[in-house]
Amino acid sequence: MTNIKIQEAIDFANEKHQGQVRKVNKQPFTVHTTGVANILERAGFKDEVIIAGHLHDTLEDTKTTFEEIKAKFGKKVAELVEGVTEKGEGLT
């Protein structure tokens, strides 16, 4: 059962990546982010890490800001997302 914060992260990622597709296979972008989060969940990570998995490309590939993630999901999640953000890569 998905908790409320994880569902909020799924909804947030879907909204932010709306209309985006992966360069590699043209799938909706959130197929990738959901896949990452599912791996983290199966591996037993805490909710904050799973949430960061859903959001891990939002800073890189959308107009989302660190402050926006921090305000909605907390400083720890924002720092996790920022830590895996590649600068200047674009939609992968």
Is residue 49 a contact partner of residue 37, using CB atoms and an 8 Å limit? no
Q: Which residue type, as a one-letter code, is found at position 90?
A: G
Backbone phi, psi, residue 70, to 5°: -60, -45
79 catalytic residue (yes or no): no
15 catalytic residue (yes or no): no
> Which one from 61, 67, 68, 86 is the annotated catalytic residue?
61
> Which one from 60, 67, 82, 86 is the annotated catalytic residue?
60
Which positions are annotated as active-site residues?
60-61
